[in-house]
Amino acid sequence: MTDPTQLTPGQQLVDVLDEAVFGKHDMVRMVVASFLAGGHVLLEGLPGLGKTVLARTMAVATGLDHKRIQFTPDLMPADITGTHLLHEADGARQFRFVPGPVFTNFLLADEINRASPKTQAALLEAMSEGSVTHAGETRPIPSPFFLLATQNPIEMEGTNALPEAQLDRFAVKIDVPPTGEETLLRIIDARTDGNPPPPAAIVDKAGVVAHRRAIDRVFVPRPVKLAIARVVARTAPVVDGQDEGLRGCIRFGASPRAAIWLARIARALAYIDGRQGVGFEDVEEAVPHVLSHRLILTYAARLDGVQASDIARHLYRETEREVLGIAQELAPRRSVV
């Protein structure tokens, strides 16, 4: 058994979540990386796959103030951001702002795509700027702020697709994998009531801030930076160097925000493993989760069953091969005596 004292803080958090959500290690690792990097997470999957359990366990383990919003068709923007209420004080009536649940450190937005687009958009300012503007007054949200949203597949009844502008504000989007037979047996054996044991807090608010600052110091080599910039640039619909087989598949490519988060998530993955520098393998692990929800495919590609995550992986493999070739050519050659 691994000694917990020998694990990095990121690995400790991954282990705690692995004990809460069985059989989904890769998903847990990516959620922790995004959290430590300061990015918001969107989980997509069928109901009952452990998305809410993961969020609840993570909120307790990080020691942050946390709140949960259940998104429904009748949810209003004020139910998220807050509103002014009339109250009486010292014989005078005046309006007082009552903060909504978005004023917290850790917010779980459960089934976010079951609300109307107007209500979904109430989170835009909070996600990108860490503040809420109501009645002309801007109020900061407590820092650090982390949003973990879950959504059902768009094919399910009663769902509304998130707009592209909001999707772009999620650092990663993760497709929750189904639960296999072995994992189901483990759940039956260990979870008689279906609920995981409550975790202990392994970090506090100050620790979260310190970890995020430490991630900024993780070194990214120049070839890795080139691979990140090139793969994001290649998601444009028509660009030099793009594989001919992808022509006509991409309608809109990823924004510059994708490159920023790809580098930061790669840093976080290296930090979790206790490494001081980012490798190509870190970028490769992050690519499908950072890029897939930012790629808008053409109708023909979707009709053919093309997956954005497959396109992202293919583009990165081609890009990494090229960058490694460039690095080898520029490397100084040893003279043979």
Query: How far is residue 292's CA from residue 313's CA, in Å, rounded to a whole number?
Result: 9
- Segment holding 303, helix H or strand E: helix 299-303
Q: Which CATH architecture has domain 217-337?
A: Orthogonal Bundle (1.10)
pLDDT for the residue numbered 334: 46
**Cα(160)–Cα(71) distance, rounded to whole angstroms?**
11
Q: What gap in Å lies between CA 23 and CA 200, rounded to an integer?
A: 21
Q: Are strands 106-110 and 92-99 parallel, antiparallel or unpaired?
A: unpaired
Q: What is the pLDDT of residue 186?
A: 87
Closest CA to 105 of 63, 55, 66, 131: 66
d(CA 319, CA 22): 34
The mean pLDDT values, 10 residues at a time, for the chain of 337 residues are 63 90 91 95 84 85 90 93 82 83 93 91 91 89 93 78 89 90 87 78 88 94 95 82 70 92 97 95 96 92 89 93 78 47
Residue of 135, 132, 114 whose CA lies nearest to 123: 132
Instruction: Annotate 117-179 with DSSP letters as a single string.
Output: HHHHGGGHHHHHHSEEEETTEEEEPPSS-EEEEEE--TTSTT--PPPHHHHTTSSEEEEPPPP
Calpha distance 243→234 (Å, rounded): 9
Please tell me the distance from the alpha carbon of residue 287 to that of residue 285, in angstroms, as a whole number: 6
Q: What is the DSSP string of 177-241?
A: PPPPHHHHHHHHHH-SSS-PPPPPP---HHHHHHHHHHHHTSB--HHHHHHHHHHHHTTSSS-TT
Report pLDDT for 49: 74
Looking at residue 163, its pLDDT comes to 85
pTM greater than 0.75: yes
- Does domain 1-212 match CATH 3.40.50.300? yes
Residue 125 near residue 131 (C-beta atoms within 8 A): yes
Q: Where in the chain is the domain with CATH 3.40.50.300?
A: 1-212
Structure tokens at 336: 């043979």
pLDDT of residue 331: 54
Dmax over CA atoms of the chain, in Å, equals 96
CB atoms within 10 A of CB 307: 15
Nearest to 13 by CA among 285, 213, 202: 202
**Distance, C-alpha 286 to centroid of its chain:** 10
**Residues 176 and 39: beta-carbon distance below 8 Å:** no
d(CA 312, CA 13) in angstroms, rounded, equals 28
CATH 1.10.8.80 in the chain, residue ranges: 217-337
**Tokens 């946390």, located at residue:** 66
Task: Find the DSSP H helices in 254-298.
Answer: 256-272, 280-291
